[in-house]
Structure 1
C-alpha cells in the first residue's frame, strides 16, 4: 500500500491512512488506483504524472492511494466517500477512480456525494455515464490500434504476431484488440504472417500483472517453428513489463500506452494513449468549475496516437492517409 500527499512545491508527505488529511483549505485531489497499479510504466504511471503536473500548476494537494488487494481498495473507497459526504468545511475535493474494478461500488454510491456541494467525482474509463453525481470519460483505442495492426505487416522478419490481451471483459482492452486485428487483416502481406491472440486471464479486471516465467512460456508457445522471431503486442497494462524483460535480443515489440525504448529490442511502432494529457485537461476543467459530464476521446483529438521510429519508413502522405482511414473507421464504429 502506498499513500502520498504532494504539495505544490513537489514535496511528498507520506500518510498512514486517508483519515489523516492535512488541515488546509487548498483543494484536494484523491486517487484510488487498481491493485498495485502504480509502477506499471504504463497506464497508471501516466495518470499519476498527469495528475501531479496539473496539481502542481494549480496549487492543489494530492492523495494517491494504491491498495495491495481488491478488498483494501473497496475499504479505501468507503473511507474516502464517507469523508467527502460528511465534510463540514468548504474545501473543494475531487475523487478520481481510474479502475473498472470499482464500477459496482461507484454506481451504487455516487449519489452519496450529492450531500456535499464541494465534492466531485471522476470515474474512468467507461463509455456509460453515471446516473447522478460524477463525471466519466472513455478513450477510444480502436483507431490507433487499427493503425498499429496495419503497420505490423511491415515486421517482415517476424513470422508470428502475438497479440496479448489482459482479459476478454475490460472494454478498452477488447476494443483495442479488435482495432489491431481489423487493421492487421485490412491488407494482405507478402510475408505470410500468422496472428495469434492470447488472453492472460478469464476474470474481469485480471491479466494486468504477470510473472516473467509465465511470459516466457507464452512467448515460446507462440512459435510455429523454434527459430521463429515473435513480435509481441501487449495490450495488458503492467503485465507488458514481463514480456519486455524476457524477450531475446533484437526481438520485435510494439509499445502500447507509452513509448518504450531499448537498444536491444526492435521497437519500431508505439501505440500511445495520452491519458496523462487527458487527466491534466480534466483537472484544469475542475479548477475552472466546468467538469464535463461525459466525453469520449480518440485518435482525432490526440488522446491516442502512433509513433514510428526512424527505422520504420512510411511517407508522410501514406501515414496521413492511413490515419484518416483509422479515424473514419473509429468514428463510424462508435457513431461519433
Structure 2
C-alpha cells in the first residue's frame, strides 16, 4: 500500500503545480481579483464543487486545459465554487459582460449545473462569447454540449468482473449510482449490469446514494453507509458511478477487503483490490473542442461520444490482465451493438 500512497501524493503535487501555473483559480469569487490576461482568447471554467486532488474527473480536465493552454496559447480563469448555486452566480456575472477585443468561452465542467442552466434564460449577448456544458444528453439553447457515454466501457467491465469470478455461482455485484436522473450515470450502471449478468454473474444490484436530481455526487458518508448495507446483504464487488462519492467506495474496498472498479481515470492508487478503471478522456475532448473553437471551425451544437469515439476506454489495474477473462473477446465484439441498443431505448 505504501507504493499506492506514494503515487497518489505525487499526482496531487502535480495537480497543485498546474493550479499555480494557470492564470486564475478561486474557490470564492468575491475575494478573487481579476488576473492580468495576455491573450485575446479567454477560457473561463467553473468546476464541480468537489474540487481537485482525487485523480478523478476534475483533475483530468485540469490536465487537459494546461496541455491545451501551453500548445494553443489562450488564457484560463478557473473557479471551484462551494456550491452549484455559487457556480451559476459566477456564470451570470460573466454573461453580463461584453467581449470587446477578445473571444470568450465559458465552460461548465460538470453536468451538476445542467438543471440550473436549462432553467435559466441568461446567455451572453455578443457573438464573441460561447458557452459549453459537459455531459448532457440533450441540447440546450444557446449552449454547446457534449457527452461521453459510458455504457460500452461499463458493459466490458461488468463482463470482465463476472468472467474472472465464474467459479463463484452466487457472485453478486452492486452498482452505487449518484441518483436515478443522470443519463450518463444510468448508462454506466445499466452497462455494467448488462455485461455482468450476460457473462454469468448472479446479480448486479443498482442502488442510488440520493433520490434527488443533481445530488449524490458529494455524499461520502451516505455512500459508505450504502456500501455497508450492500456488503451485509452479500454483495462483494462494488462499481461506483457517483463523482466525488466514489472515494468512499474505494475506502470501503480497502477497509473491508472487497473488490471494486474505478471510474473517470486510473483509480488504482485508491485500492489494491481494483480490477479495472473506466477512463473518460475528458481532457482530450476538452483540448479538441477548444482547438476547434479557437480556429472558428463549425462545431455541432450537441455531440455524443460513445465507445468508438476514442474518448472512453478500459484499463486493467495492478496485476489484472484482459486475458484473465476467458471469453472476453465475445463481449468486446458486442459493445457497439449493445451500446446502440441502449441509446435507442432512451
TM-score category, normalised to shorter length = 0.7 to 0.9
SS at 1:300 equivalent: helix
Deviation at 1:203, TM superposition (A): 1.0
Q: 1:162 to 1:107 in 2, by over 3 A?
A: closer
Counterpart CA distance in 1 for 2:18 and 2:216 is 34
Q: Any unmatched runs of 5+ in structure 2?
A: 1-16
1:301 is matched with which residue? 309
Aligned residue for 1:140? 149
User: Using a 3 Å threshold, how does the CA distance of structure 1 residues 149 and 210 change in structure 2: closer, same or farther?
Assistant: same
- Residue correspondences, number: 320
User: Does the C-alpha gap of structure 1 residues 335 and 19 become closer, same or farther in structure 2, counting only changes over 3 Å?
Assistant: farther
For 1:63 and 1:263, the matched residues in 2 are separated by 30
Q: Equivalences for 1:107-118 in 2 at 5 Å?
A: 107=118, 112-113=123-124, 115-118=125-128
Q: Bigger CA drift: 140-149 or 122-131?
A: 122-131
Could you tell me how far apart the structure 1 residues matched to 2:258 and 2:266 are?
16
Aligned residue for 2:293, secondary structure, equals helix
Match of 1:106 among 117, 121, 124: 117
Pairing 1:223-302 to 2, within 5 Å after superposition: 223-224=231-232, 230-247=236-253, 248=255, 250-262=257-269, 265-290=272-297, 291-302=299-310
Shift of 1:236: 0.6
TM-score w.r.t. length of structure 2: 0.82
Contact 2:133-2:144 at 8 Å conserved across structures: yes
Once the 2 structures are TM-superposed, how far is the Cα of residue 109 of structure 1 from its aligned partner? Answer: 5.3
User: Cα distance, 1:217 vs. partner?
Assistant: 2.8
Runs of 4+ in structure 1 deviating by more than 4 angstroms, as ranges, are: 6-9, 11-16, 108-111, 315-320
Question: Pick from 73, 76, 85: which aligns with 1:62?
Answer: 76
After superposition, the C-alpha distances for 1:84-116 in whole angstroms (9 at most, x for unaligned) are: xx23x2211111112333334434657732x32
**SS of residue paired to 1:179:** helix
Helix, strand or coil at the partner of 1:71: helix
Cα-Cα RMSD: 3.0
Show CA shifts across 1:263-309 (max 9, x none).
96221222221111111111111121123322110111211111224
Counterpart of 2:186?
174
TM-score scaled by structure 1? 0.84
Inter-partner Cα distance in structure 2 for 1:263 and 1:295: 32
| Structural mapping, 1:139-218, within 5 Å | 139-156=148-165, 159-189=171-201, 193-212=202-221, 214-218=222-226
SS of 1:20's partner is: coil
1:120 aligns with 2:130: yes
Structure 1 residue matching 2:199: 3-state secondary structure? coil
Contact 1:123 1:136 in 2 (8 A): yes
Counterpart in the other structure of 2:8: none
Does structure 1 retain, via aligned residues, the 8 Å contact 2:153–2:314? Answer: yes
Whole-Å Cα distance in 1 between the matches of residues 235 and 194 of structure 2?
22
| Pair 1:44-2:58 in alignment | yes
Which has a greater percent of helix?
2
Classify 1:30/1:299 alpha carbon distance in 2 versus 1 (closer, same or farther; 3 Å). Answer: same
Match in the other structure for 1:96: 107
Q: Secondary structure at the match of 2:323?
A: coil
Cα distance between partner residues in 2 of 1:111 and 1:48:
26
Whole-Å Cα distance in 1 between the matches of residues 129 and 195 of structure 2? 42
